[in-house]
Amino acid sequence: MSDPRRIEVNDASPDGAVSLYSKRERIQVKATSGRFQTIRNITILSTMGVYLLLPWLRWDGQQAVLFDLPGRQFRIFGMTFWPQDFLFLSWSLIIAAFALFFFTVLAGRVYCGYVCPQTTWTRFFQWIEHWLEGDRHSRLKMDAAPWTASKILRRGSKHVLWLLLAFLTGLTFVGYFSPITDLSARILTFGWGGWELFWVGFFTVATYGNAGFMREQVCLYMCPYARFQSVMFDRNTLIVSYDEERGEPRGKGAKKKQADTENPLGDCIDCGMCVQVCPTGIDIRDGLQYECITCAACIDACDDVMDHINKPRGLIRYTTENALEHKPSSVIRPRLIGYGAALLVMGTLFMASLYGRVPLQVDVLRDRNQLYRTTSAGNIENIYRLVILNKSQQAQRYELILDGPEGLSMETNKTFTLQGGQTLNLPVTVSYDPYVNEVPSSTIWFTVRSLDDPDLEKRHESRFIAPGR
Amino acid sequence: MSDFWSWFIIVIVAINLLGCAGLLLWNKQISPEEAAKETTGHSFDGIVERNSPLPRWWLGLFIGTLIFACVYLALYPGLGKFEGVLGWTSANQYDSEVSLMERQTGPLFDQYAQVPVEELINYPEALAVGGRLFANNCAICHGSDARGAKGYPNLADDDWLYGGEPAQIVTSITAGRKGMMPPMAAAIGNTDEAVRDMAIYVQSLSRPDLAKDAAKSAAIERAKPKFMMCAACHGPDGKGNQMLGAPNLTDAVWLYGPRIEDIEHTLRQGRSGNMPAHESLLSPERIHVIASYVYSLSQPAQQ
């Protein structure tokens, strides 16, 4: 079995033609443990834990994280984000992308192996599988065995548990968009609306299919990240790698042949452990392949074997291509520093703008039907429509202040109160009396300031247009 | 769409679908020699493409898209003139969304409709709704602050062309108003001087101090008798007539401007104001709410 995905010519149809499509060989992953698997267990437990528990957190008596789409508000730990704050979302996604670039340059597909949801859920599903059906060899045996009562019971309960976890996932997902306490409470009374039912069902089925059946197929054929990761690799990227110099020529019964000093065998005893534990079913000894998700299962498995045969660890290890070829290799290199600096700058600016965010929005629209208006008394007036949105969740009292040349005055109710999330449409008339003083066309500023919190103010520029001289 | 073009499209769609299906099936198998090759022969910068087979479920997805296309074309319009089983059209969708909105807002407007305009001005929410409706439907002419502009009446003062009682406001919005001032230059003497005299006289109705000026006083005297022509609409004392929408000439409110040139222009050319009828655009309940908003503007501040 040199390569499971090569087409064997012997599965040809009678007329000698070969199918262009290969039937998927189900990968039965052998469980493994070790340094890196311990880290992976911690990472996936924390990602899964955060995902499942976050919607249940409360903040000021409300759900701490709620993406209220019908209300067009994202509530995150007491902050409310409106559609006008879309830039924050864009920047957070850009920062996330740069973080991905940074870690890929550093250590390849390390994101995939340690924190990707696909990996997380697949491993949870594998634990259930392992618990009910045993490890790899017993699962393979069970696959081939006829349907007995015990097989039906084990298989059946596995799928029930899978569906339960998938349902929990779907419920949690919808809980980010529709208050989860209410959503869960309505399970018992069957009080779900059509869309809630549809989306919970959709994510249940998707999770069940993805983590139960698709698994590595997603990483191999669907994930876009797999397509462009190679752009970010270079010869100094940490990758999981088999040390060919040390391992080859591989052979079993190493002790016997060790006497043959003419062609001594390498350290690899060809036990196949690294292939059996690989979640994507590749043989790492063939060199770097795009399928490798850097999960280090083969490292842990091989280290275990090396310990058993009293050889040093690290026949398979995290290393760089340059280091393998005994060339100078440095993980800290300009490229990584560049990504890191960009990440740091963006992250700092992001946090700063988040901290300095004023939960108030002021838009000024000049009336478009006329440039200026002459009243019967001879005053020159400009009309504006101020759209003021209180983006906080508390009621605020505001005052409106006009900054402009001497002589301009504003006729409107200067203080007003807005409930949390309320929008006010305020027509404002700005005028001057040409018999008192002349005001040329000029730039003016409207300032809306909270009376409760002087720091909370927004200033908006506009233009006053006067008759030409 | 004529039958020909309808069939033209149907045939193209069918050929495309069948073509995709045929291509898929025809390419499902390759020769053993082809399959045995290590690479596809593509090489870029020394990177070669391996000749790995596609996963079989990929083929299933392709077939799934073909099935989806057939189902879609059966349900929705797409095959020429065939309208689809569901009978979906964008106009229908628009109508159903509008009627959904009407169903959602209907009860509220019905509630407001129960309350007379004079009382509705005490309901801040109703006025807020009215203000938004005003901004969308009226502000483009009357201004965001409803104080009008040249040729567009100020709705926020106490001066009304057609009356400021709720019923009159509702009528103005519903049926619209046509203001007609005929050209009067011919009737009052047809000379520049006569028109100028009359303009000064009209100004003097709201500014009695003009009579102190000797020249203007003479003009006023000359024009005074001719004002009979105007009195038919504006009344003998120039107080206007709300039945006709004839403005009051004795106050300081000028629809077309207070300057002598503005008044002369009115006399020579006449004016025709047009408030469009809104009954085809707005439901009676909405007009009721807008009328309350407009009515509230001229009432003492409701704080």
∠ CA A452-A453-A456, nearest 5°, is: 130
- Cβ <8 Å between A20 and B55: no
pLDDT in tens, chain A (469 residues): 445 444 444 454 556 677 878 888 888 899 999 999 999 999 999 999 999 999 999 988 889 999 998 888 898 988 888 888 889 999 999 999 999 999 999 988 899 999 999 999 999 999 999 999 989 989 998 888 899 999 999 999 999 999 999 999 999 999 999 899 888 888 877 778 888 899 999 999 999 999 999 998 898 888 888 888 878 888 899 999 999 988 888 877 655 555 556 667 888 988 899 999 999 989 999 988 888 999 999 999 999 999 998 999 999 999 998 998 888 888 889 999 999 999 999 999 999 999 888 889 999 999 887 888 888 778 888 999 999 999 888 888 999 999 988 889 887 778 888 888 888 888 899 999 888 888 889 999 999 999 888 888 999 999 999 987 5
- Going by the DSSP 8-state scheme, the letter that residue B45 receives in this structure is T
Residue of B145, B150, B203 to mutate when probing chain A, most A C-beta within 10 A: B145
Sign of CA dihedral B190, B195, B196, B201: positive
- Going by the DSSP 8-state scheme, the letter that residue A328 receives in this structure is -
| Nearest residue on chain B to A4, alpha-carbon basis | B52
Return the number of CB contacts < 8 Å for A and B.
Answer: 97
- Cβ <8 Å between A425 and B131: yes
- The full set of domains in chain B, from first to last, is 3-75 (no CATH), 111-176+276-302 (1.10.760.10), 180-275 (1.10.760.10)
Q: Are strands A380-390 and A423-432 parallel, antiparallel or unpaired?
A: antiparallel
Residue of B23, B24, B28, B29 to mutate when probing chain A, most A C-beta within 10 A: B29
Residue of A7, A15, A430 to mutate when probing chain B, most B C-beta within 10 A: A7
Q: Is B70 annotated among the ligand-binding residues?
A: no
Q: What are the C-alpha distances in Å from A333 to residues A42, A236, A329, A337, B50?
A: 29, 8, 9, 6, 31
pLDDT bin (cut points 50, 70, 90) of residue B303 is: very low
- The full set of domains in chain A, from first to last, is 22-357 (no CATH), 360-464 (2.60.40.10)
Chain A contact for B59 (CB, 8 A cutoff) = yes
Q: Is B181 annotated among the ligand-binding residues?
A: yes
Token pair, residue B109, equals 């407007």
Chain A contact for B253 (CB, 8 A cutoff) = yes
The four Cα atoms A274, A275, A277, A282 give a dihedral, to 10 degrees, of 120
Q: DSSP for A342-382?
A: HHHHHHHHHHHHHHT--SEEEEEEE-SS-S-EE-TT--EEE
Strand partners, B43: B48
Structure confidence at residue A103 (pLDDT):
92
Chain A contact for B80 (CB, 8 A cutoff) = no
Chain A neighbors of B57, CB-CB under 8 A: 24, 217
Chain B neighbors of A367, CB-CB under 8 A: 139, 143-144
- Cβ <8 Å between B55 and A22: yes
Chain A contact for B82 (CB, 8 A cutoff) = no
DSSP element (H, E) containing A58 = strand A58-59
Structure confidence at residue A261 (pLDDT):
61
Chain A contact for B151 (CB, 8 A cutoff) = no
Q: What are the C-alpha distances in Å from B22 to residues A28, B14, B53, B59?
A: 36, 12, 19, 13
Chain A contact for B135 (CB, 8 A cutoff) = yes
Q: Is B275 annotated among the ligand-binding residues?
A: yes
For residues B123-127, give the mean pLDDT: 90
CA distance B84 to A368: 45
CA distance A246 to A238: 19
Amino acid at A291: E
- Cβ <8 Å between B143 and A18: no
SS (H, E, C) A59-91: ECCEECEEEECCCCEEEECCEEECHHHHHHHHH
Task: Give which of A128, A121, A133, A123 is closest to A204, Cα–Cα.
Answer: A121
CA distance A274 to B83: 59
Q: Are strands B39-44 and B47-50 parallel, antiparallel or unpaired?
A: antiparallel
Segment B236-273, tens digit of pLDDT: 889 999 988 999 999 888 898 888 899 999 999 999 99
CA distance A366 to A363: 10
Segment B128-177, tens digit of pLDDT: 899 999 999 999 899 888 988 888 999 988 889 998 899 999 999 999 99
- Cβ <8 Å between A376 and B32: no
Task: Give which of B300, B213, B202, B218 is closest to B252, Cα–Cα.
Answer: B202
CA distance A26 to A21: 15
Residues 6+ apart with CB under 8 A from A234: A105, A335
Strand partners, A397: A417
* HSE-up of residue A321 (Cα within 13 Å, Cβ side): 11
